[in-house]
């Protein structure tokens, strides 16, 4: 029997799971609800049971599986300790140890979800087989993951890749969720894009089709920009400018071979990527040789891919 590994991506609503060959072929994927919350042991027990059942259905035993990797939506200390993960109610736990005990001592690895997604894209996605990769996820917030020499850089205080909270705009007056001001996430997340659009609309309402839309979304703004709406283009230029500055900061720190842009906002495709690239080039005049910027390929599966890779890297 070919050996396999399992990737688990624990989100606020659902837990995604996948069985992979060691060379990165997804054999099976499924989901279970993230229930119960606030009880790490109970959820991990459900995950362990589900892994056993699905391996068995695939004609696999525990000994065919080299290990399980898990991504969680919060900071993970280098020793696998989790202080707190707010949106699933975990506190002061070592989740990998619990799961390993349930799976006859099988190796279980743990990582932060944004870091793990970056590893997934570096394994089988937009940066396939590239060893120095930075992924930026533009969703409700802005997350990031740094892969150097094929390995996640988790950081010593759980901050590795927390690029959404880089202070990039000096003139910002509103506070970010993190307590700071001028964070990248305040501008370039889906939420940030809507906020920027509303700020401009408040100034010059009559000039944009966006003024007619109730419950404005980031997609509305990006679609309008693509269609030539001037105010929307102005918003996208601001969003791309601060992303370009942040990518330049990252380049002048770890200088990856490639940046992978993922998350819901990245569905805007080349239109957005081209603008980000233009700004990135502008803010890195020091060199002609630049990192590539590409779109993520694995979508919502990046987490299970990267989690699985955790145990075979």
Contact range with a second copy by CB under 8 A, out of 35-43, 53-61, 255-263, 295-303: 255-263
Instruction: Give the C-alpha distances (Å, rounded to integers) separating 135 from 149, 159, 297, 298.
Output: 14, 15, 11, 12
Based on the shown chain and the rule CB under 8 A, indicate whether residue 249 belongs to the binding site for a second copy: yes
**Cβ proximity to a second copy, 233 vs 254, nearer residue:** 254
The first and second tokens of residue 292, run together, are 């590539």
**Cβ proximity to a second copy, 7 vs 256, nearer residue:** 256
* R_g of the chain, CA atoms, integer Å: 20
CA dihedral (120, 126, 129, 135) positive or negative: negative
On the 0-12 / 13-18 / 19+ scale of CB atoms within 10 A, 173 is: exposed
The first and second tokens of residue 234, run together, are 């102005």
Closest distance between a second copy and the C-beta of residue 91, in Å?
15
Based on the shown chain and the rule CB under 8 A, indicate whether residue 152 belongs to the binding site for a second copy: no
**Cβ proximity to a second copy, 44 vs 136, nearer residue:** 136
Based on the shown chain and the rule CB under 8 A, indicate whether residue 161 belongs to the binding site for a second copy: yes
Closest distance between a second copy and the C-beta of residue 286, in Å?
4
Q: Which of 27, 32, 66, 153 binds a second copy (CB under 8 A)?
A: 153
Closest distance between a second copy and the C-beta of residue 122, in Å?
13
**Cβ proximity to a second copy, 11 vs 155, nearer residue:** 155
**Cβ proximity to a second copy, 6 vs 183, nearer residue:** 183
**Cβ proximity to a second copy, 94 vs 283, nearer residue:** 283
Burial readout 20-47 (b: 16 or more C-beta within 10 A, e: otherwise): beeebebeebebeebeeeeebeebbebb
Site residues for a second copy per CB under 8 A: 75, 132, 144, 146, 148-149, 151, 153-163, 165-167, 169-171, 178-180, 245, 248-257, 283-287, 289-291
């Amino acid at each position: 029997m070919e050996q396999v590994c399992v990737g688990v991506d624990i989100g606020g609503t659902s837990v995604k799971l996948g069985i992979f060959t060691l060379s990165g072929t997804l054999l099976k994927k499924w989901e279970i609800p993230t229930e119960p919350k606030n009880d790490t042991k109970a959820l991990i027990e459900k995950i362990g049971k589900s892994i056993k059942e699905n391996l068995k259905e695939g004609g696999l035993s525990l000994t065919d599986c080299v290990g399980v990797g898990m991504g969680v939506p919060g900071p993970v200390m280098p020793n696998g300790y989790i202080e707190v993960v707010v949106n699933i109610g975990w506190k002061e736990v070592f989740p990998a140890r619990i799961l390993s005990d349930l799976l006859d001592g099988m190796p279980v690895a743990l990582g932060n979800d944004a870091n793990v997604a970056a590893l997934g894209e570096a394994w089988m996605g937009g940066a396939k087989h590239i060893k120095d990769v930075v992924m930026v996820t533009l969703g409700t917030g802005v997350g990031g993951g740094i892969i150097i020499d094929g390995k996640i850089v988790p950081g010593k205080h759980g901050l590795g890749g927390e690029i959404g909270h880089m202070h990039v705009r000096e003139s910002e007056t509103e506070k970010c969720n993190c307590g700071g001001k001028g964070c990248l996430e305040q501008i370039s997340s889906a939420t940030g894009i809507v906020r920027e659009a509303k700020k401009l609309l408040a100034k010059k309402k009559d000039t944009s089709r966006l003024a007619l839309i109730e419950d404005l979304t980031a997609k509305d703004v990006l679609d309008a920009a693509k269609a030539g709406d001037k105010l929307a283009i102005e918003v996208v230029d601001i969003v791309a400018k601060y992303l370009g500055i942040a990518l330049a900061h990252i380049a002048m720190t770890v200088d990856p071979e490639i940046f992978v842009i993922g998350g819901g906002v990245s569905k805007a495709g080349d239109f957005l990527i081209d603008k980000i690239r233009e700004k990135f080039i502008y803010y890195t005049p020091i060199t002609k040789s630049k990192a590539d910027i590409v779109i993520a390929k694995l979508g919502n599966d990046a987490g299970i891919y990267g989690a699985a890779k955790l145990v075979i890297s």
